Amino acid sequence: MNKMAEKKNLPEIRFKGFREEWKMQKLAKVAEFNPKADLPEIFEYVDLESVAGTEMIAHKKERKDTAPSRAQRLAQQGDLFYQTVRPYQKNNYLFEKNCKNYVFSTGYAQMRPNGDGYFLLSLVQNNGFVKTVLDNCTGTSYPAINSNNLAELEVSIPTNNNEQSQIGTYFKHLDHLITIHQSKYDKLVNVKKAMLEKMFPKKGDDVPEIRFKGFSGDWKEKKLDLIADVRDGTHNSPKYYTEGHPFVTSKNVKEGKVNYDDIQYIADVDYEEINKRSKVDKNDILMGMIGTIGNIALVSETPNFAIKNVALIKDTKSIYYLYLYHYLCSPIVSRQLEEGMDGGTQKFIALNKIRNLSIAVPKKNTEQSKIGTFFKHLDHLLSLQQQELEKLKNIKKACLEKMFV
Protein backbone atom coordinates (compact mmCIF):
# COMPACT_ATOMS: atom_id res chain seq x y z
CA MET A 1 0.00 0.00 0.00
CA ASN A 2 1.14 3.58 -0.63
CA LYS A 3 0.17 6.72 1.27
CA MET A 4 -1.89 9.29 -0.62
CA ALA A 5 -3.35 12.38 0.99
CA GLU A 6 -2.67 15.10 -1.59
CA LYS A 7 -6.15 15.15 -3.11
CA LYS A 8 -9.22 16.04 -1.16
CA ASN A 9 -11.34 12.95 -1.64
CA LEU A 10 -8.71 10.26 -1.19
CA PRO A 11 -7.99 7.96 1.77
CA GLU A 12 -4.69 8.34 3.61
CA ILE A 13 -3.67 4.76 2.83
CA ARG A 14 -4.48 3.12 -0.49
CA PHE A 15 -3.59 -0.01 -2.44
CA LYS A 16 -1.14 0.47 -5.28
CA GLY A 17 -2.48 0.99 -8.77
CA PHE A 18 -5.48 3.11 -7.82
CA ARG A 19 -5.35 6.88 -8.36
CA GLU A 20 -8.88 8.04 -9.10
CA GLU A 21 -10.65 10.25 -6.60
CA TRP A 22 -13.41 8.60 -4.64
CA LYS A 23 -16.97 9.75 -5.31
CA MET A 24 -19.73 10.81 -2.96
CA GLN A 25 -22.91 8.78 -3.23
CA LYS A 26 -26.02 8.27 -1.16
CA LEU A 27 -26.22 4.88 0.51
CA ALA A 28 -29.38 4.26 -1.49
CA LYS A 29 -27.15 4.15 -4.60
CA VAL A 30 -24.61 1.85 -2.95
CA ALA A 31 -27.14 -0.76 -1.84
CA GLU A 32 -30.81 -1.69 -2.16
CA PHE A 33 -32.61 -1.05 1.13
CA ASN A 34 -35.08 -3.44 2.78
CA PRO A 35 -35.94 -5.57 -0.28
CA LYS A 36 -39.39 -7.14 -0.04
CA ALA A 37 -39.76 -10.90 0.27
CA ASP A 38 -42.26 -13.48 1.46
CA LEU A 39 -41.29 -15.12 4.74
CA PRO A 40 -41.01 -18.92 5.00
CA GLU A 41 -43.42 -20.71 7.34
CA ILE A 42 -40.58 -21.63 9.72
CA PHE A 43 -37.39 -19.58 10.04
CA GLU A 44 -34.43 -18.63 12.24
CA TYR A 45 -35.08 -15.25 13.84
CA VAL A 46 -32.23 -12.79 14.51
CA ASP A 47 -33.12 -9.98 16.92
CA LEU A 48 -31.09 -7.00 18.14
CA GLU A 49 -29.45 -9.08 20.88
CA SER A 50 -28.27 -11.72 18.42
CA VAL A 51 -25.39 -9.82 16.81
CA ALA A 52 -22.29 -8.72 18.72
CA GLY A 53 -19.69 -6.79 16.77
CA THR A 54 -19.74 -8.36 13.33
CA GLU A 55 -20.65 -11.85 14.58
CA MET A 56 -24.03 -13.55 14.89
CA ILE A 57 -24.04 -15.06 18.38
CA ALA A 58 -27.60 -16.39 18.52
CA HIS A 59 -30.82 -17.04 16.62
CA LYS A 60 -34.01 -18.90 17.44
CA LYS A 61 -36.57 -20.87 15.49
CA GLU A 62 -39.92 -19.16 14.91
CA ARG A 63 -43.14 -19.87 13.05
CA LYS A 64 -44.46 -17.22 10.70
CA ASP A 65 -47.88 -17.06 12.36
CA THR A 66 -46.50 -16.66 15.92
CA ALA A 67 -43.25 -14.78 15.30
CA PRO A 68 -42.63 -11.27 16.70
CA SER A 69 -44.06 -8.53 14.47
CA ARG A 70 -40.53 -7.14 13.97
CA ALA A 71 -39.43 -10.34 12.20
CA GLN A 72 -39.65 -9.07 8.60
CA ARG A 73 -36.23 -8.92 6.93
CA LEU A 74 -35.61 -12.16 4.98
CA ALA A 75 -31.85 -12.54 4.47
CA GLN A 76 -30.19 -13.36 1.19
CA GLN A 77 -26.53 -14.31 0.92
CA GLY A 78 -24.48 -11.11 0.75
CA ASP A 79 -26.97 -8.87 2.60
CA LEU A 80 -25.69 -6.45 5.21
CA PHE A 81 -27.77 -5.86 8.34
CA TYR A 82 -27.14 -2.51 9.99
CA GLN A 83 -28.28 -1.91 13.58
CA THR A 84 -30.32 1.30 13.48
CA VAL A 85 -30.79 1.54 17.27
CA ARG A 86 -27.71 2.64 19.26
CA PRO A 87 -25.50 2.49 16.16
CA TYR A 88 -22.43 3.38 18.23
CA GLN A 89 -22.41 -0.29 19.34
CA LYS A 90 -21.40 -1.26 15.77
CA ASN A 91 -23.36 -4.52 15.87
CA ASN A 92 -23.62 -5.02 12.11
CA TYR A 93 -23.65 -8.34 10.29
CA LEU A 94 -22.79 -9.43 6.76
CA PHE A 95 -24.93 -12.48 5.99
CA GLU A 96 -22.70 -14.92 4.10
CA LYS A 97 -24.66 -18.12 4.74
CA ASN A 98 -26.11 -19.97 1.76
CA CYS A 99 -29.46 -20.23 3.54
CA LYS A 100 -32.93 -18.88 2.80
CA ASN A 101 -34.54 -19.25 6.23
CA TYR A 102 -32.99 -16.45 8.32
CA VAL A 103 -35.19 -13.47 9.16
CA PHE A 104 -33.85 -10.35 10.87
CA SER A 105 -35.62 -7.81 13.05
CA THR A 106 -36.73 -4.47 11.64
CA GLY A 107 -34.28 -3.04 14.17
CA TYR A 108 -31.78 -3.63 11.36
CA ALA A 109 -31.70 -1.84 8.04
CA GLN A 110 -31.22 -4.52 5.38
CA MET A 111 -28.78 -3.46 2.67
CA ARG A 112 -28.20 -5.52 -0.48
CA PRO A 113 -24.85 -4.16 -1.76
CA ASN A 114 -24.35 -3.26 -5.41
CA GLY A 115 -20.60 -3.72 -4.93
CA ASP A 116 -18.38 -5.61 -2.50
CA GLY A 117 -20.26 -6.57 0.67
CA TYR A 118 -17.23 -6.65 2.92
CA PHE A 119 -16.21 -3.19 1.72
CA LEU A 120 -19.63 -1.90 2.77
CA LEU A 121 -19.42 -3.71 6.12
CA SER A 122 -16.03 -2.12 6.79
CA LEU A 123 -17.28 1.30 5.71
CA VAL A 124 -20.18 1.25 8.19
CA GLN A 125 -17.81 0.15 11.00
CA ASN A 126 -15.67 3.25 10.41
CA ASN A 127 -15.89 5.84 13.21
CA GLY A 128 -16.44 8.65 10.70
CA PHE A 129 -19.54 6.93 9.34
CA VAL A 130 -20.83 6.14 12.84
CA LYS A 131 -20.48 9.83 13.79
CA THR A 132 -22.46 10.85 10.70
CA VAL A 133 -25.20 8.38 11.61
CA LEU A 134 -25.32 9.61 15.22
CA ASP A 135 -25.59 13.20 13.99
CA ASN A 136 -28.74 12.14 12.14
CA CYS A 137 -30.26 10.04 14.93
CA THR A 138 -33.24 10.92 17.09
CA GLY A 139 -33.39 10.15 20.80
CA THR A 140 -30.72 10.45 23.50
CA SER A 141 -30.76 7.32 25.69
CA TYR A 142 -31.53 5.13 22.66
CA PRO A 143 -30.38 7.07 19.59
CA ALA A 144 -31.89 5.62 16.42
CA ILE A 145 -32.10 6.32 12.72
CA ASN A 146 -34.79 5.01 10.37
CA SER A 147 -33.89 3.22 7.15
CA ASN A 148 -35.11 6.06 4.92
CA ASN A 149 -32.83 8.60 6.58
CA LEU A 150 -29.94 6.14 6.60
CA ALA A 151 -30.35 5.59 2.86
CA GLU A 152 -30.05 9.36 2.27
CA LEU A 153 -26.66 9.64 3.97
CA GLU A 154 -23.75 10.29 1.64
CA VAL A 155 -20.63 8.14 1.73
CA SER A 156 -17.38 8.26 -0.18
CA ILE A 157 -16.56 5.16 -2.23
CA PRO A 158 -13.98 4.19 -4.87
CA THR A 159 -15.03 4.63 -8.49
CA ASN A 160 -13.23 1.39 -9.33
CA ASN A 161 -15.03 -1.74 -8.13
CA ASN A 162 -11.69 -3.57 -8.01
CA GLU A 163 -10.52 -1.17 -5.32
CA GLN A 164 -13.67 -1.86 -3.32
CA SER A 165 -12.98 -5.59 -3.66
CA GLN A 166 -9.36 -5.28 -2.54
CA ILE A 167 -10.34 -3.25 0.52
CA GLY A 168 -13.13 -5.69 1.32
CA THR A 169 -10.81 -8.69 0.94
CA TYR A 170 -8.20 -7.06 3.16
CA PHE A 171 -10.68 -6.48 6.01
CA LYS A 172 -12.19 -9.93 5.56
CA HIS A 173 -8.73 -11.45 6.02
CA LEU A 174 -8.07 -9.22 9.03
CA ASP A 175 -11.40 -10.17 10.64
CA HIS A 176 -10.59 -13.83 9.98
CA LEU A 177 -7.30 -13.47 11.87
CA ILE A 178 -9.07 -11.68 14.73
CA THR A 179 -11.67 -14.48 14.90
CA ILE A 180 -8.93 -17.14 15.00
CA HIS A 181 -7.04 -15.40 17.80
CA GLN A 182 -10.26 -14.67 19.71
CA SER A 183 -11.11 -18.37 19.49
CA LYS A 184 -7.66 -19.36 20.80
CA TYR A 185 -7.98 -16.88 23.64
CA ASP A 186 -11.49 -18.11 24.54
CA LYS A 187 -10.28 -21.72 24.55
CA LEU A 188 -7.44 -20.86 26.94
CA VAL A 189 -9.91 -19.00 29.19
CA ASN A 190 -12.11 -22.11 29.25
CA VAL A 191 -9.12 -24.36 29.98
CA LYS A 192 -8.16 -22.19 32.94
CA LYS A 193 -11.74 -22.09 34.18
CA ALA A 194 -11.97 -25.89 34.02
CA MET A 195 -8.60 -26.38 35.73
CA LEU A 196 -9.56 -24.01 38.56
CA GLU A 197 -12.55 -26.31 39.15
CA LYS A 198 -10.73 -29.62 38.81
CA MET A 199 -7.25 -29.05 40.29
CA PHE A 200 -8.55 -28.15 43.77
CA PRO A 201 -10.76 -30.46 45.89
CA LYS A 202 -14.49 -29.79 45.74
CA LYS A 203 -16.40 -29.17 48.95
CA GLY A 204 -16.48 -32.40 50.96
CA ASP A 205 -13.61 -34.01 49.00
CA ASP A 206 -10.08 -34.62 50.25
CA VAL A 207 -8.36 -34.78 46.86
CA PRO A 208 -8.81 -32.94 43.56
CA GLU A 209 -10.31 -34.45 40.42
CA ILE A 210 -7.11 -33.82 38.43
CA ARG A 211 -3.69 -34.24 40.01
CA PHE A 212 -0.08 -34.30 38.82
CA LYS A 213 1.58 -37.72 38.77
CA GLY A 214 3.63 -38.74 41.77
CA PHE A 215 1.46 -37.09 44.41
CA SER A 216 -0.91 -38.87 46.80
CA GLY A 217 -2.47 -38.39 50.21
CA ASP A 218 -5.34 -36.25 51.42
CA TRP A 219 -5.28 -32.46 51.36
CA LYS A 220 -5.92 -30.55 54.60
CA GLU A 221 -8.43 -27.75 55.12
CA LYS A 222 -6.94 -24.68 56.82
CA LYS A 223 -8.30 -21.25 57.65
CA LEU A 224 -6.67 -18.52 55.58
CA ASP A 225 -5.42 -16.59 58.63
CA LEU A 226 -3.49 -19.68 59.79
CA ILE A 227 -1.41 -19.80 56.60
CA ALA A 228 -1.22 -16.09 55.73
CA ASP A 229 -1.12 -12.68 57.40
CA VAL A 230 -4.48 -11.11 56.46
CA ARG A 231 -4.98 -7.37 56.99
CA ASP A 232 -6.86 -4.54 55.34
CA GLY A 233 -6.01 -1.02 54.23
CA THR A 234 -6.94 2.26 55.84
CA HIS A 235 -10.55 3.21 56.54
CA ASN A 236 -9.76 6.93 56.38
CA SER A 237 -10.03 9.18 53.34
CA PRO A 238 -6.82 11.18 52.87
CA LYS A 239 -6.65 14.26 50.67
CA TYR A 240 -6.25 13.50 46.98
CA TYR A 241 -3.77 15.06 44.57
CA THR A 242 -3.09 14.98 40.84
CA GLU A 243 0.21 13.20 41.47
CA GLY A 244 1.95 11.32 44.24
CA HIS A 245 1.48 7.74 45.43
CA PRO A 246 -1.38 5.75 43.83
CA PHE A 247 -4.23 5.05 46.27
CA VAL A 248 -5.69 1.64 45.47
CA THR A 249 -9.29 0.81 46.38
CA SER A 250 -11.50 -2.18 45.51
CA LYS A 251 -12.41 -0.70 42.11
CA ASN A 252 -8.71 -0.84 41.11
CA VAL A 253 -8.39 -4.57 41.77
CA LYS A 254 -9.29 -6.18 38.43
CA GLU A 255 -8.46 -9.26 36.39
CA GLY A 256 -5.48 -10.32 38.46
CA LYS A 257 -3.79 -6.91 38.49
CA VAL A 258 -3.91 -3.44 39.96
CA ASN A 259 -5.64 -1.22 37.41
CA TYR A 260 -4.40 2.36 37.34
CA ASP A 261 -6.89 3.74 34.78
CA ASP A 262 -9.13 5.45 37.35
CA ILE A 263 -7.00 6.10 40.42
CA GLN A 264 -6.43 8.85 42.99
CA TYR A 265 -3.07 9.96 44.37
CA ILE A 266 -2.00 10.75 47.93
CA ALA A 267 0.89 12.64 49.52
CA ASP A 268 4.05 11.08 51.04
CA VAL A 269 2.90 11.69 54.62
CA ASP A 270 -0.40 9.78 54.13
CA TYR A 271 1.34 7.02 52.17
CA GLU A 272 3.82 6.46 55.00
CA GLU A 273 1.14 6.58 57.70
CA ILE A 274 -1.14 4.05 55.93
CA ASN A 275 1.79 1.72 55.25
CA LYS A 276 2.67 1.48 58.93
CA ARG A 277 -0.17 -1.04 59.29
CA SER A 278 -0.81 -2.27 55.74
CA LYS A 279 2.36 -2.06 53.67
CA VAL A 280 2.06 -3.99 50.40
CA ASP A 281 5.07 -5.98 49.15
CA LYS A 282 5.86 -7.99 46.04
CA ASN A 283 4.07 -11.38 45.91
CA ASP A 284 1.31 -10.18 48.26
CA ILE A 285 -2.32 -10.73 47.20
CA LEU A 286 -5.05 -8.08 47.19
CA MET A 287 -8.79 -8.80 47.37
CA GLY A 288 -11.60 -6.32 46.81
CA MET A 289 -13.91 -6.00 49.82
CA ILE A 290 -16.57 -3.53 48.58
CA GLY A 291 -18.67 -3.50 45.39
CA THR A 292 -17.44 -6.34 43.20
CA ILE A 293 -16.46 -8.77 45.92
CA GLY A 294 -13.58 -11.17 45.51
CA ASN A 295 -11.65 -9.55 42.66
CA ILE A 296 -8.06 -10.68 43.15
CA ALA A 297 -4.74 -9.11 42.20
CA LEU A 298 -1.25 -10.53 42.55
CA VAL A 299 1.37 -7.88 43.27
CA SER A 300 4.06 -8.91 40.79
CA GLU A 301 6.31 -5.84 41.07
CA THR A 302 7.63 -3.81 43.99
CA PRO A 303 4.64 -1.56 44.75
CA ASN A 304 4.49 2.19 45.31
CA PHE A 305 0.88 2.44 46.45
CA ALA A 306 -1.29 2.37 49.57
CA ILE A 307 -4.66 0.63 49.96
CA LYS A 308 -8.16 1.30 51.26
CA ASN A 309 -11.12 -1.12 51.52
CA VAL A 310 -8.89 -3.86 50.14
CA ALA A 311 -7.88 -7.04 51.94
CA LEU A 312 -4.11 -7.58 52.02
CA ILE A 313 -3.00 -11.21 52.08
CA LYS A 314 0.72 -11.10 52.75
CA ASP A 315 3.22 -13.65 51.52
CA THR A 316 4.51 -15.34 54.71
CA LYS A 317 6.33 -18.16 52.88
CA SER A 318 4.25 -20.74 54.81
CA ILE A 319 2.34 -21.46 51.58
CA TYR A 320 3.50 -20.98 48.00
CA TYR A 321 2.11 -17.58 46.97
CA LEU A 322 1.27 -18.66 43.39
CA TYR A 323 -0.66 -21.65 44.72
CA LEU A 324 -2.60 -19.48 47.17
CA TYR A 325 -3.29 -16.79 44.55
CA HIS A 326 -4.83 -19.24 42.09
CA TYR A 327 -6.75 -21.04 44.83
CA LEU A 328 -8.27 -17.69 45.79
CA CYS A 329 -9.22 -17.21 42.12
CA SER A 330 -11.08 -20.52 42.05
CA PRO A 331 -14.88 -20.97 42.12
CA ILE A 332 -14.44 -22.74 45.47
CA VAL A 333 -13.48 -19.45 47.10
CA SER A 334 -16.00 -17.44 45.03
CA ARG A 335 -18.79 -19.55 46.48
CA GLN A 336 -17.51 -19.01 50.03
CA LEU A 337 -17.34 -15.26 49.45
CA GLU A 338 -20.90 -15.17 48.10
CA GLU A 339 -22.12 -16.89 51.27
CA GLY A 340 -20.27 -14.35 53.43
CA MET A 341 -21.37 -11.13 51.72
CA ASP A 342 -23.20 -8.40 53.63
CA GLY A 343 -24.94 -5.17 52.61
CA GLY A 344 -27.80 -4.22 50.31
CA THR A 345 -27.09 -2.31 47.13
CA GLN A 346 -23.41 -1.88 48.01
CA LYS A 347 -22.13 -5.36 48.81
CA PHE A 348 -19.17 -5.83 51.13
CA ILE A 349 -17.39 -8.60 52.97
CA ALA A 350 -15.91 -8.25 56.43
CA LEU A 351 -12.22 -8.90 57.03
CA ASN A 352 -12.92 -11.65 59.58
CA LYS A 353 -14.87 -13.59 56.93
CA ILE A 354 -11.91 -13.37 54.57
CA ARG A 355 -9.64 -14.57 57.38
CA ASN A 356 -11.96 -17.54 57.90
CA LEU A 357 -11.92 -18.66 54.26
CA SER A 358 -11.28 -22.40 54.06
CA ILE A 359 -8.20 -23.25 51.98
CA ALA A 360 -7.38 -26.82 50.91
CA VAL A 361 -3.62 -27.39 51.04
CA PRO A 362 -1.63 -30.38 49.70
CA LYS A 363 0.74 -31.96 52.17
CA LYS A 364 3.85 -31.49 50.02
CA ASN A 365 5.22 -28.08 49.11
CA THR A 366 6.36 -29.52 45.78
CA GLU A 367 2.72 -30.16 44.81
CA GLN A 368 1.82 -26.59 45.72
CA SER A 369 4.72 -25.40 43.56
CA LYS A 370 3.72 -27.60 40.64
CA ILE A 371 0.13 -26.31 40.66
CA GLY A 372 1.14 -22.67 41.08
CA THR A 373 3.69 -22.91 38.26
CA PHE A 374 1.14 -24.61 35.98
CA PHE A 375 -1.31 -21.73 36.37
CA LYS A 376 1.48 -19.16 35.99
CA HIS A 377 2.36 -20.71 32.62
CA LEU A 378 -1.30 -20.74 31.62
CA ASP A 379 -1.64 -17.05 32.55
CA HIS A 380 1.45 -16.29 30.46
CA LEU A 381 -0.10 -17.97 27.43
CA LEU A 382 -3.33 -16.04 28.01
CA SER A 383 -1.40 -12.77 28.22
CA LEU A 384 0.48 -13.47 24.98
CA GLN A 385 -2.73 -14.39 23.17
CA GLN A 386 -4.51 -11.31 24.49
CA GLN A 387 -1.64 -9.09 23.33
CA GLU A 388 -1.78 -10.58 19.85
CA LEU A 389 -5.54 -10.11 19.73
CA GLU A 390 -5.27 -6.49 20.87
CA LYS A 391 -2.56 -5.84 18.28
CA LEU A 392 -4.82 -7.09 15.48
CA LYS A 393 -7.78 -5.07 16.77
CA ASN A 394 -5.60 -1.94 16.88
CA ILE A 395 -4.42 -2.60 13.31
CA LYS A 396 -8.04 -2.88 12.20
CA LYS A 397 -9.00 0.30 14.06
CA ALA A 398 -6.15 2.23 12.43
CA CYS A 399 -6.95 0.86 8.97
CA LEU A 400 -10.63 1.74 9.30
CA GLU A 401 -9.54 5.32 10.00
CA LYS A 402 -6.95 5.57 7.20
CA MET A 403 -8.41 3.46 4.38
CA PHE A 404 -11.71 5.34 4.10
CA VAL A 405 -12.35 8.99 3.33
352 and 255 within one domain: yes
Q: pLDDT tens digits, the chain, 405 residues: what are they? A: 555 444 578 999 999 999 999 999 999 999 999 999 999 999 999 999 999 999 999 999 999 999 999 999 999 999 999 999 999 999 999 999 999 999 999 999 999 999 999 999 999 999 999 999 999 999 888 999 999 999 999 999 999 999 999 999 999 999 999 999 999 999 999 999 999 999 999 988 999 999 999 999 999 999 999 999 999 988 888 999 999 999 999 999 988 999 998 899 999 999 999 999 899 999 999 999 887 777 899 999 999 999 998 999 998 889 999 999 999 999 999 999 888 777 666 678 889 999 999 999 998 999 999 999 999 999 999 999 999 999 999 999 999 999 998
46 in Cβ contact with 62 (< 8 Å): no
Predicted confidence at residue 235, as pLDDT, reads: 86
User: Taking the alpha carbons of 317, 323, 326, 332 in that order, is the dihedral positive or negative?
Assistant: negative
Domain count, the chain: 2
End position of a domain, from candidates 323, 338, 361: 361
The pTM of the full predicted model, rounded to 2 decimals, is 0.84
Do 152 and 237 have their domain in common? no
Q: Structural domain of residue 120, as residue ranges?
A: 23-157
Q: How far is CA 262 from CA 246, 250, 258, in A?
A: 10, 11, 11
Same domain as 114, residue 224: no
Distances 2 to 41, 169, 323, 378 between C-alpha atoms, Å: 51, 17, 52, 40
Cβ contacts of 65 within 8 Å, gap of 6 or more = none
The answer to whether residue 66 is domain-embedded is: yes
- Angstrom distance (rounded) from CA 169 to CA 150: 25
Q: What is the SS3 assignment for 20?
A: coil
Q: Which of 271, 236, 267, 265 lies closest to 252 in space, CA to CA? A: 265
* Domain co-membership, 356 together with 248: yes
pLDDT in the model for residue 58: 96
Q: Is residue 325 part of a domain?
A: yes
CA Rg, the chain, in Å?
Answer: 27
Domain assignment present for 227:
yes
| Residue 403 included in any domain | no
> For residue 35, is it within any domain?
yes
pLDDT value for 342: 74
346 located within any domain: yes
Answer positive or negative: Cα dihedral of 134, 137, 138, 142: negative
Does a structural domain hold residue 203? Answer: no
pLDDT at residue number 2: 55
Residues 27 and 113 in one domain: yes
Same domain, yes or no: 148 and 246: no
State whether 152 and 230 are in the same domain: no
**What CATH number is associated with residue 41?**
3.90.220.20
Distance CA 133, CA 152 (A): 11
Residue 141 and residue 28 share a domain: yes
For 88, phi then psi, to 5°, come to -65, -15
Task: Assess contact for 76 and 95: CB atoms under 8 A.
Answer: yes
Q: Do both 104 and 31 map to the same domain? A: yes
Compute the 3-state secondary structure of the chain and give helix, strand, coil in percent, each to the nearest 5.
35, 25, 40
List the one residue out of 86, 92, 88 whose CA is nearest residue 139: 86
Angle at 334 between CA 330 and CA 336, to 5 degrees: 120
Q: Which of 344, 361, 378 is the last residue of a domain?
A: 361
Please report which helix (H) or strand (E) contains residue 312, including its range.
strand 310-314
Residue 185 lies in a domain: no
The closest alpha carbon to 290, from 218, 233, 243, belongs to 233
